[in-house]
Amino acid sequence: MQKFNVYVCRFGAIAMALISLNTNADPVLVDVRSVDPTITVDLRYAGRNNFLRHSLYPRGTHALARPEIASALAVAQSILRRYQYGLKIWDAYRPVAVQATLWEARHPGRLTDSRRPDANRL
């Protein structure tokens, strides 16, 4: 298992290196599987298999990402497939309302993490 984690980290680093750092990029999101249908998607917060034990997304939600992220994941997937591995996406773009629900579930009554310097932001 240790060897597999190293490969995933290396391919993740390669994927991240391929991502453009253009801050003026179009905020459009794409379905990861529309870029590469061989990527497995199992959105944990779209079902009951998560720490809240209930769905936070509507049925049929797709794994969404910025186009450059989806393209980088497709490149990483093509490299992994050569070695008979593949990517499995458990979470992708998460709406702010869902993030707030998750934060409240883990930190009841606290709006932010007071240990962080950016504690005034959610």
* Most confident range, picked from 21-25, 29-33, 60-64: 29-33
| 4 vs 27, more confident | 27
- Using a CB cutoff of 8 Å and minimum separation of 24, what contacts does 56-63 make? 56/98, 56/101, 56/102, 57/98, 62/31, 62/32, 62/33, 63/31, 63/32, 63/33, 63/39, 63/89, 63/92, 63/93
pLDDT, mean of residues 76-92: 96
| Domains of the chain as residue ranges with CATH | 2-94 (3.30.1380.10)
pLDDT, mean of residues 35-62: 91
